[in-house]
Each structure stands twice: as structure tokens, then as C-alpha cells.
Amino acid sequence: MNTPVRTARARTSRLRRISGTASVHAVLLGYTLIAVFPVFLVMMNSFKDRRGIFGEPLSLPHAGTFSLEGYATVLSEGSFATYFGNSLIVTVASLFLILFLGAAAAHALAEYRFRFNALLKIYMIVGIMVPIRLGTVAILKLMVDLNLVNTLLALILVYTAQGLPVAVFILTEFMRTLSRDIKDCARIDGLSEYRIFLEVVLPLIRPVLATVAVFSMIPIWNDLWFPLILASSDATKTVTLGVQQFIGQFTVNWGAVLAALSIAILPVLGLYALFSRQLIAGITSGAVKG
Amino acid sequence: MTQTATDSAAPAALRRRRKRAGRLHIVVFLAPAVLIYTIFSVYPLAESLRLSLYDGLEDGSAVWIGLGNYATLLFDPDWARQFWNAFSNNLVLFFVHMVVQNPLGLLLAALLSLAPRFGGAYRTLIFVPTLLSVVIVGFIWELILSPLWGVAETLLGAVGLAGLYQPWLGLESSALVTVSLISVWQYVGIPMMLIYAALIAIPDELIDAARVDGLSGFAIFWKVKLPLILPTLGIVAILTYIGNFTASFDLIYSIQGALGAPNFSTDVMGTLLFRTFFGQQLQLGDVHMGATVASMLFFIILVGVTIYLALVQRRLQRYEM
Amino acid sequence: MSDLTLRNVIKSYGSTKVIHGVDLQVRDGEFVVFVGPSGCGKSTLLRMIAGLESITGGEVAIGGEIVNDISPADRGIAMVFQSYALYPHKDVYGNMAFALRHAGVDKAEIDARVQRAADILGLRDLLHRRPKELSGGQRQRVAIGRAIVRDPKIFLFDEPLSNLDAALRVQMRVEILRLHQRLKTTMIYVTHDQVEAMTLADRIVVLHGGRIAQVGTPLELYHHPDSIFVAGFIGSPKMNFLEAALTGWSQEGAHVQVPSLGEIVVPVSRQGGSERETGARLGIRPEHVQLADPATAAMRGEVLVVERLGGETYLHLDVGAADPFVVKTDGAVSARSGEHVGLAFPPHALHLFSASGAAFPHRERHRTLAEPQGA
């Protein structure tokens, strides 16, 4: 019997594997730094005084430079509590409508055979390709006619219309994969079609609803266009618009600008920390493979 | 359906009241979504197309002028200059995304799909900028690139390139490309995720088979994986195209204002639409011209989507996996 | 009374007819299996009985009442699905109690019924688990338990065992049989697996292309198939068919000429066959063929493949026909591929089919069928 030996061939291929792994990490780590550093830089400097911001922008705040004066200015000058409240109301209400109405429509499209089913589905999802902003001129006219300008309801309705196509598309695709048996079983158990939707289908699609929620939430929370056009009054400003206008006024007060940016970033990062697993699982589950 | 005399008993009559309900529930499920979508998305779009065919009179009424507004937009020297400038700026923006953002996304996705250690952490962190509001991203970079703060210069100095520093956002020659790169920085997470999803959907057996067939890691990517994810690359391209024409407004409005400073060098269709509709400085807002710009945008996107559907998607065969 | 009557039942989707007028009478307490290849309409028929598919034409009656327009929940049926269809967000108890709660049955009664079903099925210790924490066999049991608590007039089973592995399938098959013996409720069971059909059914309904091909006890179908389709579908391995020419009739039966076999007499009667018909097919089940001395045997074949299952052996032979001829024989047989073997057929085990596929009836009933069937 020959004793197996580690040949030169085996050694080089092992070396190649290790250096390959190292370069993969070098690229990924390098780009991760590029992606995160600017955000980190802003948040770090928001805790410094003016001298610290300009004198040593790249070092962490320390006793000599630490200051919350930026945050003090933001809290006294801007009505960020109101803006947050507005953003929260608009985002939550829109999300609820998108998910609930979208799921109901998707359920009807996936579950029942009726005339124009296919046509209606195309009608609903064509909105994915056509950005709602192109209708802004008429949306503003419509809101003026409906007396909804400078109300949060205007934003909620527009964002719902904007979010429905993607929601209907993803949910219909997913609902088609649901077992027909379980709905039939509920029918035999005597549930009405409404209760089948509420008590059987909705619990089954919860994970996908979460994905659609995170997806739809980002553009709503971050939007500048519609708040600027439909609801720019002080009482209805959202965070994004509020930050934009606040910074416009306080361009010379860097501490305040950095603090305002950080205040706008933090909740998003917090939510992301909570839901990133769901968001990424949703994206990678093929729900958006088109 | 026929009923015979056999089921005349009272319980049967009771039961018949609980017969299969009509088809009303289908309408109940569909109506709210269809109505909101129609009223606030489809109707406004159609109305914008209609408004673009009218011109406003001083007394507030409107008169039908056919394609007159489009002729103005395309051939009136003042309008045409702005339109073509914005349009070509959008094309530059699109080009930068196609040659920088999407290849970068592909590279990152390919590396992540090798399942390196900490892959999840890299993926999560690289996606962070995508979540932030464009407004915030714009300001972050405005601050970093500002000559006042000097962070960019310091950082370049650290690698011995301080001499390269310019106030890029303020220079007519570099402002547009700089804005594009900021947008790339923000959105590279999206192509990365989509491509990553497509890559990990390729069955392991297929990769194992290629490895047994003697293909190197690079050859596997090039000859096996890439052909299989072509449909996803097609989707990424069309999403880039659409986003480029509409979403670019937020970033440019935040950093450079509605005039696409400096000197319209970053003016895009979105800012042009906003300016036309609401007016800016000496220019008065014009609903009908605004609708015309929006409609032009609609046609431009329609052309892109049509090309995608007709050519790209038909060619890019989807393989059953 | 929980008998079931189908009268000229028709189903079409648009202009496509999938069920072509089915008539069937199922007696109270009977276990009837619908079997057929995929697409034969067996599941559609079951779903029409359940009320999940509308009935295009004809009547379905349960216990003497026409149920065409009655909702599934009010038909007095319970159904067990292929995918189990358990509500994933409810535990085992919740799944079993769901229909009763919905119907407003009082708590104590629900609890009593669930506990009884759990006892019957050995689910006592699992009542508070979620479906995802259960094995395939346990899920199937919960699905059956959910049907039991409804105390239905008729149980409907839609391929309930096809998601289970082979060993579990055999075990659950026995459990379902014991359940039927215990509850004595009418059961309708759909499967594509003829072994399940043979072992479970009081009577089998073979469906083919949306029509009933034959109804009968398992042994009736096995020994006296009405058509070449039923003959080929029931029994495993599949029946062998040989091209044959009908040359004449006599007291003993049909005289047929088979290329590799010469002229033989098949003890069947002429009933239904036309005067001038000459094309025919001879059928013989693999287990009815006997090996014989090649020198004197009626037919010879060359062994192509030997499949050894241990207790038995399948020989695939080339007898000059288009398809291999299969013989099921003793596990200890010494045949090797390439060898020539002789074959013999007991005349009563031969089947003869006309060119159109209809069987010529045997002159005598098979002896196992002479005794009275069922109870």
C-alpha cells in the first residue's frame, strides 16, 4: 500500500484558495467601509462643538469637543416632534391600506375565476412601470378640488395608490403558491369567503406581508416630492421635508445641520436593525424576481 | 339546477338559505384597491396627458391646441435648450449607473454569493445607504465634499492624492458626474440584492457539476452563472432606466436646487418638470407645459419599457431551475 | 342514512367537458375508492361531491337529499386533503376544534369530541403542538382527526397518503381501514395508486377520461376486467398484452391465432363481439404465467432483464412482440439474461379483448368470487 502524500499540486491549490478568500474579504470590507463611513462621519460629528467639527472632523468626540448644542438648536428651532408624528401617521396609514387592500385584491385575483381576471391584473401591476409622479399635475388639481391640499390624507391616498401595484404583484404571485386545499378545507368548515380571507389567508401570508411592508415603507418615509407639493404646511410637514427645509435655513450652523441629519437617520437605522433579516429574506426569496 | 320533490323537508329549506353566496365578495375584495389606484394614479396620468394638449387662457379657461405644447417644448429655442439639456443630463446619469453601479452591484453580489464568512454583515451594511432618504444622502455628501469642511481633501491626502481635490459639486464640468456617483453610492444595494438573489437561486448541483467538469471558479461564474442571471440583469437595467428619469429629482433638488446648479449642468427632467409646473424666479408656473413635460417623460419611459419587453426580455430566455 | 347517489353528473369548464355524465350509487357505510390515471377526473368528481366545484349538470344526493346547491359546510361531509391543509397558525387542538367552534357547538361538546378523536388516532400527547412541529404521518392523523370530530355522514379522502413515504403509507393505509371498521361511516377515497385501491376498497370505481370505466369489488376488477384499460390499470406488474387474430368460435370459447404462440382456445363467450371481428388482444397477468421446459412449452422467450426482489423475481422476456413480456416468478429462479425459457398459461387466466378494447366475458366466474361479497 502506498501512503498518500500531499503533493505540490495540492499545496499550491490550497494556497490559491486562501489568497482567493482574502481578496474576497478585502473587496467586501473595502466597499462596506465606503458605504458606512459617510453615515458614521455625520453621526459622529453631530456630537461635537463647532471647533471639534472643523478642527478634527475625523476623530471621535472627546471631552474637549463633545457637545449637544446642535441637537439643542434642532429641538428648539424645528418642530421635529410634529414632523416625526406626521411621517409616522402617513407611513403607517399608507402601509395599512397598501397591505390590506392589496392583499384583498391579490386574493381575489389569485383565488377566483372571473371574466377579465387576467386583464385586471395587468391593469393593476402596470403601475410598477409607470411612476405616479408623472401624474403630479393632475394629482395636485384633484387634491385642490377635493380640498385635501395640506392634509396628511392627501399623502396617504397618493402613497397607497403608489404602493398598490407592487403589493398586488408580489402578493398575487405568492398567493398562487398557497395550497388550495386549506381554503377548501375552510369552506367545508363553513367559513364565508370573507372569513377565509381574514382568518386563513392573511395569517398564511404574514411573512410576505412583512416584506412588502418594508419595501413600501422606504420610499414613503423618504419621499420629498409629494410632501413638497401636496403638504408643505408647517402642520403637515414630514421629516424628510422638514430636514430639507431646516437645513436650507441653517446652512451656516453645522452642528444643527449634522444633528438634524442624525435625527432623521436614526429611526431608519433602528427599524432596519430590527427588520433587516426580513427585508433581505424578502428580497432574496425571489419575491421580486419579476 | 333542478330541484326534485325529494328535498322538500324543512331542514333542507333552512339550509338553502345558506346556499353558496353569489360572487359579490369578488367585487368587495377588488373594489377598494382598484378605485384608489384608478383615482389617484391612473386618472391623474391620463389627465396629465389630456392637459398637455391644451393651453391656458388668461381668463382661466383652456383651449385645445393639439400637439402645440410638444412643438413648443421641442422647437421653441428657449424650451428646446432646456429640454435637450435635461434629457442629455438624464442620459449621462443613466450611463454612469449602467457602467458603475450595476457592474459594482454584480461584483459585490458575486462575491457575496460565495458565502464568505460575515457575508450577512457585509450585505446588511452595504444596503444601509439605500434606506436613507435621498435628501439626507445629498446633504451628507454635500458636507463631505464641501471645501469648507475639508474632509474629502483630508481623506485624499491620507492616500497622497490631496492635489486631486476639487469642489466637484460646484464645478460645471464635474457636478453631474459627481451627483451620479453619489446616487450610485446610495443605490448600489438594489442591483446587488437582486443579482445576489438570482445567484443563490442557482441550484448547488449545477455548480457542483461544473466543478466536476473541471471549470475554475471564474469560468463557472462566466459560463454558468452569468447566462442564468441574464434576465435579472435585464430587470436591473430597466429599473435603472425608470429610476433615473424620475427618482433623480430628489437628489438634485436637495443638493443643487430646482435650477440644477451650477448653471443647469445638473438639470434633469424631474427638476425641469418641477420648475415648469411651479415656476421659479421670473418664470411663472404653467400647468399645461408641466403636463407636457410629464407626458414627454411618460413617453420616454414607455419607449424604454417597450424596448425592454420586446427585445431584451424575449431574448433573455428564462431557464427553469 | 348516508348513502350517496350521483345521477348523470357532468362538469365542464367553458366548452371543455371533463366529467361526462357519471352515475353511481354508494351504499351507507361502504368504502368506495375512485382510481384512475392523472387527469381522469377523479379529484374533480370528489370535489363536486364536497361542493367545492359547481355541478354543471346532473344531481348529487347525500342521504336522499339533493345537495347541488347546498354549501360544502352544510352537506354533512368531511374531507381529508393531500397536503393535509392544516391551519399553520393553530395547534392540533385548534385545528380539530375549528369547524365546531365556527358552527357554535358548545365548549364541553367540542372538548369531548376532540378528545375522542385524539384517542382514536393516538394524538393525545400532541394536542398543543403546531403543525410544523409534527411529522408527515402525525399531520395526516390530525387531518383525519379534524374530519372525525365533525361526525360527518360521508368522509372524503383526496389522495391522502401520496405525500408520505412508502413505509408510512402502508401503516396509514391499515389505520384508515381500521378507522372504517370502527366508525362504519361511508367513505369515498381518491387515489391514483391501484394498490391502495385494491387494499382499501369495498368497491372500486375506475375512472378514465371523465367516464366510469368499471365499478366492482377489487377481485372482480382483477379477475374480470371489462376493458383493456381496466385490465392494464389494475394489477402490478401490468398485464401482458399480445396481438392476436380471432379465427373462430366453438363450444370451448374463442379460437385465436397468436404469432409467437400458435392457435389457442380462450374460454370466453362471444357476447357483444361482432360476427366479422378478427383483430384482438390476448392478455395474461405476469403472476399467471408459468415457466416450463423450453423444448415442449407453448411459447418461448429470451430473458432480457432479471429483476430480483428477494421473495419474487420478475423476468422481462423478448417473445417477438413489440413490448417485453413480463413474468413474475419464484425468488429462487435461476434464470439469467440471454437464456431462453419456456412459458405456459392456464387457460382460465387468459383474457381476450376486442380490437375496440372491450373484454369478452369469461365463461365462468373466478372461484374466489363465487362466495357472497361484502357485508
C contacts of B10 (beta carbons < 8 Å): none
Q: Identify the domain containing residue A149 by its residue range.
A: 78-249
For B7, nearest residue in chain C (alpha carbons) = C65
Residue A112: CATH number of its domain:
1.10.3720.10
Residues of chain C contacting residue A187, judged by C-beta atoms under 8 Å apart: 51-52, 71-73
Lowest mean pLDDT among A135-144, B239-248, C22-31, C244-253: B239-248
The pLDDT tens digits for B192-237 are: 988 988 888 888 888 888 878 878 778 888 888 888 888 888 888 8
Task: Look at residue A288 and tell me if it is in a domain.
Answer: no
Task: Give pLDDT, residue B2.
Answer: 41
pLDDT number for residue A267 = 82
The C-alpha cell at B155 is: 481623506
CB contact under 8 A, B18 and C71: yes
Looking at the fold, whether A191 and A119 belong to one and the same domain comes out as yes
Query: B217 to chain A: which residues are within 8 Å by CB?
Result: 20
Q: Does A280 touch chain B (CB under 8 A)?
A: yes
Note whether C306 contacts B: Cβ–Cβ < 8 A: no
pLDDT bin (cut points 50, 70, 90) of residue C323 is confident
Q: C71 and B2 in contact by Cβ < 8 A?
A: no
Residue among B45, B117, B146 with most chain A CBs within 10 A, to mutate:
B45
pLDDT of residue C272: 63
Nearest to C51 by CA among B151, B49, A189: A189
Query: Is residue A24 domain-shared with residue A156, that is, in the same domain?
Result: no
pLDDT of residue C213: 95
Q: Which of A272-276, B98-102, C43-47, C57-61 has the lowest mean pLDDT?
A: A272-276
**Predicted confidence (pLDDT) per residue in C149-169, tens digit:** 988 999 999 999 988 888 888
> Is the per-residue pLDDT at A284 higher than 70?
no
Residue A197 lies in a domain: yes
The answer to the question of residue A110 being in a domain is: yes
Q: Quick check: is B105 in a domain?
A: yes
A47 and A87 share one domain? no
pLDDT tens for each residue of chain B, 321 residues long = 344 433 334 444 444 444 445 789 999 999 999 999 999 999 999 998 898 898 877 777 778 888 888 988 899 888 899 999 999 999 999 999 999 999 999 999 999 988 888 888 899 899 899 888 888 888 888 888 888 787 788 888 777 777 777 778 878 888 899 999 999 999 998 899 889 888 888 888 888 888 788 787 788 888 888 888 888 888 888 888 888 887 778 888 888 877 777 778 888 888 888 888 887 766 677 888 888 998 999 899 889 888 888 877 666 655 655
- Which residue of C51, C55, C66 is in closest CB contact with B6? C66
pLDDT of A283 = 66
Handedness of CA A264, A268, A270, A271 (dihedral sign): positive
Task: Give residues 26 to 65 of C whose Cβ lies within 8 Å of B.
Answer: 51, 54-55, 59, 61, 64-65
The answer to whether residue B241 sits within a structural domain is yes
pLDDT at B19: 45
For residue B227, give the CATH number of its domain: 1.10.3720.10
Residue from A17, A59, A137 whose CB has the most chain B CBs within 10 Å, to mutate = A137
**Residue C106 and residue C97: Cα distance in Å, rounded?**
11
Identify the band that residue C59 occupies on the pLDDT scale cut at 50, 70 and 90: very high
Q: Which residue of B has its CA nearest to A274?
A: B124
- Is A93 a residue whose pLDDT tops 50? yes
Residue B7, chain C, CB below 8 Å: the answer is yes
Residues A94 and A169 in one domain: yes
Q: What pLDDT does residue A133 have?
A: 85
User: Is A219 within the bounds of a domain?
Assistant: yes
Pick from B123, B198, B246: CB nearest A131: B246
Q: CA-CA-CA-CA torsion for B76, B81, B84, B87, nearest 10 degrees?
A: -120
Per-residue model confidence (pLDDT) at position A77 = 77
- Taking the Cβ of residue B25 and every Cβ of chain C, the question of whether any pair is shorter than 8 Å is answered with no
Asked if B193 lies within 8 A of A218 by C-beta distance, the reply is: no
> What's chain A's average pLDDT?
86
For C361, phi and psi rounded to 5 degrees? -65, 145
Best residue in C86, C102, C154 for a mutation probing chain A (most A CBs within 10 Å): C102
User: Could you read off the pLDDT of C71-127 as tens digits, one per residue?
Assistant: 888 898 999 998 888 888 889 999 999 888 888 889 999 999 999 999 989 899 999
Cβ-based contacts of C76 with chain B (< 8 Å): none
Domain count, chain A: 2
Choosing among C69, C75, C153, which should be mutated to test the B contact, i.e. which has the most B CBs within 10 A? C69
Same structural domain for residues A65 and A83? no
Domain count for chain B: 1
* Per-residue pLDDT band at A288 (split at 50, 70, 90): very low
Q: Is C155 helix (H, G, I), strand (E, B) or coil?
A: strand
Question: pLDDT, tens digit, for every residue of A145-199?
Answer: 999 999 999 999 999 999 999 899 889 988 888 888 889 999 988 888 999 999 9
Shared domain for A226 and A108, answered yes or no, is yes
Q: Do B19 and C61 touch (CB under 8 A)?
A: no
B61 touches chain C (CB under 8 A): no
The C-alpha of A175 sits at a distance from chain C's nearest C-alpha, in angstroms, of: 15
Residue A257 within a domain: no
How confident is the model over C171-193, as a mean pLDDT? 93
Q: Which A residues, 175 through 214, put their C-beta within 8 Å of a C-beta on chain B?
A: 192-194, 197
SS3 C336: coil
Residue A272 is assigned to a structural domain of this protein? no
| Distance set, CA B136 to CA A48, A208, B139 (Å) | 19, 29, 5
The CATH superfamily assigned to C237-362 is Nucleic acid-binding proteins (2.40.50.140)
Residues A55 and A83 in one domain: no
A265 at B interface, C-beta within 8 A: yes
A51 shares contact with chain B (CB less than 8 Å): no
Residue pointed to by grid coordinates 459560463: B223
Nearest to C74 among B1, B6, B18 (CB): B18
Residues of chain C whose beta carbon is less than 8 angstroms from a beta carbon of chain A are 47, 50-52, 71-74, 77-79, 81-89, 98-99, 102-103, 146, 158
**pLDDT one-digit tens code per residue, A218-246:** 889 888 889 999 998 989 999 889 888 88
Min distance C18 CA to chain B CA atoms (Å): 19
According to the model, what pLDDT value does residue B282 have?
61
Bridge partners (DSSP) listed for residue C315 = C306, C327
pLDDT tier at A212, thresholds 50, 70, 90: confident
- Determine the Cα–Cα distance for residues C185 and C4; give it in Å rounded to an integer: 12
* Host domain of residue B95: 76-133+178-315
Over 90: is that where the pLDDT of A272 sits? no
Q: Which long-range contacts (CB under 8 A, 24 or more apart) does B169-178 make?
A: B169/B141, B169/B142, B169/B145, B169/B255, B169/B256, B170/B262, B171/B262, B172/B262, B172/B263, B172/B265, B173/B265, B175/B256, B175/B261, B175/B262, B175/B265, B175/B266, B176/B89, B176/B92, B176/B93, B176/B265, B176/B266, B177/B92, B177/B96, B178/B145
Is A287 or A252 the better-scoring residue by pLDDT? Answer: A252
Q: Which of C51, C64, C68 sits opposite B1 (nearest CB)?
A: C68
pLDDT at A84 over 80: yes
Provide ipTM, 2 decimals: 0.85
Residue A214 lies in a domain: yes
If asked whether residues A155 and A235 sit together in one domain, one would say yes
- Choose between C225 and B283: higher pLDDT: C225
CB B195 within 8 A of CB B232: yes
Contacts with C55 from chain B: Cβ below 8 Å: 1
CA distance B140 to A264: 12
* Exposed/middle/buried for residue C372 (C-beta within 10 Å: 0-12, 13-18, 19+): exposed
Q: What count of CB pairs under 8 Å joins A to C?
A: 59
Q: Would you say B169 and B255 are in contact if contact means Cβ atoms under 8 Å apart? A: yes
CB contact under 8 A, C59 and B2: yes
Nearest CA in chain A to C47: A184
pLDDT digits (tens, 9 = 90+) for C67-85: 998 888 889 899 999 888 8
Alpha-carbon distance of C288 to C352, in angstroms, equals: 15
Has residue A286 been placed in a domain?
Answer: no
Nearest chain B Cα distance for residue C75, angstroms:
9
User: What are the sequence ranges of the domains in chain C?
Assistant: 4-229, 237-362
**CATH assignment of C4-229, given 3.40.50.300, 3.40.1010.20, 3.40.50.1370, 3.30.390.30?**
3.40.50.300
Q: Are residues A169 and A27 in the same domain?
A: no
Which positions in chain A touch B235 (Cβ < 8 Å)? 289-290
